[in-house]
Amino acid sequence: MFFASGINGALGRAFLLIGIIGSLFGAIAAITSARQRDQAVAKLIPRFAVLVFAASFGAFAVMERAMITRDFSLEYVQKVGSVSTPAIYNFAAVWSALEGSILMWVLILAGYTLGVTYWLRKKMDDVLSRYALGVMFIVSLFFFMLSFGPANPFAAGPAGVFDGPGPNPLLQNHLLVMFHPPLLYLGYVGMTVPFAFAIAALITGRLGEGWLLATRRWTLFAWGFLTIGIVLGSWWSYEVLGWSGVWAWDPVENASLLPWITATAYIHSVLVQERRGMLRVWNLSLLVATFSLTILGTFLTRSGVVNSVHAFSQSAIGPWLLAFFAVIVVVSVGLIGWRGDRLHSPGSIDSPLSREGAFLANNVLFAVFAFVVLLGTVFPLVVEALQSRTIVVGEPFFDRLTIPIGITMLTIMAIAPVLPWRKASQELLSKRLFWPAWCGVLALAGSVWVGATGLAPLLTFGLGGFAAGSALRQVVLATRRQGLRGLVGRANGGMIVHLGVIIIAVALAASNSFTHSQELNLEVGKVASFSGHTFELVDVVEVKTERATAVKALVKIDGGKAYAPAITKYVLQGMNVGTPSVKTGLAYDIYLTLEPPVRQDENKARIKVFIKPLLLWLWIGGGLMALGTVLAAFPGRRRRNPTSPTSEDDFAADLLVML
């Protein structure tokens, strides 16, 4: 036992040290070879990338080994490990607290560094590639140091411990713990790649070139992973954790949403730069903002300054992250200022009613959206610092401010896809928007018909129909011209993403506005009814295992299948975790939760029933967004058609640039 534990701790530390040295020398090699144009040194860069990845993989593997062999000599294993945790949750326990998740960050970052190195293997002669890798190595160095120092997962714990509590109960009652955090991290950490290229472009001063075209796919994939991670998190919250909602505007959720917002803005506005060479400063700022928001978000949620239901662990990494955030901002702003002369873009935007005009409007909205989310997240800190009083900024605040923003975004989504570059004539708009507008009216009429009320939801449904009409119009036109190839490429894939977003907006509006609920005190043998459904308690059962006691109420809905909402008491942590049971439907979900206190002996159960309209469509929309992202990542038809200078003739080409 002693030897094994000594080995895990020492090996892990050794791997981290190798990672630090590898990142340091990688950064030095990349930057000196870039400055002195030294080919011999440049040849070393890939070797360091491999070394750094191997070190991170080694450290992660050692951590897994320690967890699997239940090496309780390590403090981290004492904290999140336990003899009774099932294998799969034990495997995932590595990233269930701060130190392990930083280790996962290191692994993913090293993986991205290696991936970018491989991708650049034939472009290594380019100074810009070397600088970009230099930045990646520097960021890696920071995270290796974080893991080696303040967030050390390999620290030795007190002796004589032979079992631990295991991971937080919320992290050991569903398989999703295997996927949601890693996917989110793939998105989060992936934003380092475009940031590295942005910094490299600033250093080399080559801002008008195609570096952003080259990194588009990296950004898109990171964005896609972040999207899937966020959607999976919502699904988890709804189906598994019994929070009955999909989004609570919790600080950790906001921290994942913030970079998503700025990255979404970038994915749109970069097209203006591609096409017209404009908005360079803005695009660079968005990339810098996206990356720095990942760091700031991690600081806010992992340093203990903000309370959160996700705050599974807190530690002393706060000052490190804050300092790193400050360095990123100062360096980036400094570089943008230094290169100010080269950033002035030629050209101008002729009309607000043009595709570039719509992208600008979209960006203004996304900027305000990001500001609102950031403000709501940090405002309690400001009040506490200035007036030492605690305030809570919750869902109602965010809802009030983000619903108008969302509705305006839907309006832009309805009009923008049909706009040509440069300038749109009234005739053209009237022609192209005609059928989409009727789609909107039909959607509105349909929702009034089924009984929807309230201005905001109705606007959402109507504009959703309008925007869906515009998106479908593009897809139909493109597939008519190009067959199945009309589905790939950024324009058409982008429209599929739009459809997913619209479906999500409609589902959110419906489920937030028209959910109703009722508590039912059920008794075995008696039938209660609510909202046209009957609920009959069949039995209340208690399932005891070594690590938890679950009380399940078996409830028959409409005399059919029995659903089993449960409350599980985790013995080691003394924590109750509710598990809902959901009867899913295309029109609405019936969502059952078992309410405390649970009285097992009396054959009675207090159940809360929620009827949630259209909720299933959130996940369908999320799937469509993921599909669209993949389609958009495939290269579409060559878009440049030099013989057709006007956008009217260049319509197919325009389609392809749209996202």
Q: How far is the CB of 19 from another protein (least distance, A)?
A: 34
> Using CB under 8 A, which of 364, 381, 527, 541 touches another protein?
364
Choices 166-174, 286-294, 444-452, 633-641 (CB under 8 A): range interacting with another protein: 444-452
Should residue 381 be labelled a site residue for another protein when binding is judged by CB under 8 A? no
Should residue 375 be labelled a site residue for another protein when binding is judged by CB under 8 A? yes
Interaction residues for another protein, span 203-222 (CB under 8 A): none
Interaction residues for another protein, span 233-252 (CB under 8 A): 243-245, 248-251
Q: How far is the CB of 280 from another protein (least distance, A)?
A: 14
Q: Is residue 634 exposed (0-12), middle (13-18) or buried (19+ Cβ within 10 Å)?
A: middle
> Using CB under 8 A, which of 102, 286, 295, 360 touches another protein?
360
How far is it, in rounded angstroms, from Cα 300 to Cα 307? 9
Q: How far is the CB of 518 from another protein (least distance, A)?
A: 5
Choices 86-94, 190-198, 372-380, 619-627 (CB under 8 A): range interacting with another protein: 372-380
Should residue 190 be labelled a site residue for another protein when binding is judged by CB under 8 A? no
Should residue 643 be labelled a site residue for another protein when binding is judged by CB under 8 A? no
Phi and psi based region of residue 205 (left: phi greater than 0; alpha: psi -120 to 50; beta: remaining): left
Q: How far is the CB of 400 from another protein (least distance, A)?
A: 8
How far is it, in rounded angstroms, from Cα 414 to Cα 436? 8
Should residue 327 be labelled a site residue for another protein when binding is judged by CB under 8 A? no
Q: Which is nearer to another protein, 383 or 562 (CB)?
A: 383
Q: Give the residue among 276, 275, 267 at the shortest CA–CA distance from 362.
A: 267
Interaction residues for another protein, span 445-474 (CB under 8 A): 445, 447-448, 451-455, 458-459, 462
Q: How far is the CB of 243 from another protein (least distance, A)?
A: 6
3-class DSSP assignment, residue 517: strand
Q: Which is nearer to another protein, 353 or 538 (CB)?
A: 353
Measure the CA angle with vertex 209, ends 206 and 211; round to 5°: 95
> Using CB under 8 A, which of 578, 621, 622, 636 touches another protein?
578
The residues near 225 (Cβ < 8 Å, ≥ 6 apart) are: 183, 184, 186, 187, 190
Should residue 361 be labelled a site residue for another protein when binding is judged by CB under 8 A? yes
Q: How far is the CB of 466 from another protein (least distance, A)?
A: 9
Task: Write out the DSSP string of 522-573.
Answer: EEBT-EEEETTEEEEEEEEEEEE-SSEEEEEEEEEETTSSEE--EEEEETTT
The residues near 434 (Cβ < 8 Å, ≥ 6 apart) are: none
- Six token digits for residue 333: 């702003």
How far is it, in rounded angstroms, from Cα 515 to Cα 261? 27
Q: Do residues 292 and 328 make contact, with C-beta atoms less than 8 angstroms apart? A: yes
Interaction residues for another protein, span 331-350 (CB under 8 A): 347-350
Choices 53-61, 99-107, 369-377, 581-589 (CB under 8 A): range interacting with another protein: 369-377
Should residue 311 be labelled a site residue for another protein when binding is judged by CB under 8 A? yes
Q: How far is the CB of 244 from another protein (least distance, A)?
A: 6
Choices 80-88, 256-264, 427-435, 547-555 (CB under 8 A): range interacting with another protein: 427-435
Q: How far is the CB of 602 from another protein (least distance, A)?
A: 19
How far is it, in rounded angstroms, from Cα 167 to Cα 177? 11
The 499-538 site mask, x for binding another protein (CB under 8 A), equals -----------------xxxx-------------------
How far is CA 306 from its chain centroid? 19
How far is it, in rounded angstroms, from Cα 585 to Cα 604? 27
Q: Do residues 306 and 300 make contact, with C-beta atoms less than 8 angstroms apart? A: yes
How far is it, in rounded angstroms, from Cα 594 to Cα 568? 10
Place of tokens 């699997």: 68
How far is CA 371 from its chain centroid? 17
How far is it, in rounded angstroms, from Cα 64 to Cα 153? 11
Q: How far is the CB of 394 from another protein (least distance, A)?
A: 4
- Six token digits for residue 116: 């970018």
Q: How far is the CB of 334 from another protein (least distance, A)?
A: 23
Choices 122-130, 312-320, 423-431, 632-640 (CB under 8 A): range interacting with another protein: 423-431
**How big is the site for another protein, counted in residues (CB under 8 A)?**
70
> Using CB under 8 A, which of 440, 486, 494, 500 touches another protein?
440
Q: How far is the CB of 248 from another protein (least distance, A)?
A: 7
* Residues constituting the chain: 659
Instruction: Give, as one character, the DSSP assignment of residue 501.
Output: H
The separation between the first and the last C-alpha atoms of the chain, rounded to the nearest angstrom, is 57
CA distances from 150 to 139, 142, 394 (A): 16, 11, 31
Phi and psi based region of residue 166 (left: phi greater than 0; alpha: psi -120 to 50; beta: remaining): left
Interaction residues for another protein, span 383-412 (CB under 8 A): 383, 386-387, 389-397, 400-401
Choices 36-44, 118-126, 308-316, 413-421 (CB under 8 A): range interacting with another protein: 308-316
Q: Which is nearer to another protein, 316 or 448 (CB)?
A: 448
Q: Is residue 484 exposed (0-12), middle (13-18) or buried (19+ Cβ within 10 Å)?
A: exposed
3-state helix, strand, coil split of the chain in percent (to 5) is 65, 10, 25
Interface ranges with another protein (CB under 8 A) = 243-245, 248-251, 307-309, 311, 347-350, 352, 357, 360-361, 364, 367-368, 371-372, 375-376, 379, 382-383, 386-387, 389-397, 400-401, 427, 430-431, 434, 437-438, 440-441, 444-445, 447-448, 451-455, 458-459, 462, 516-519, 576, 578, 595-596
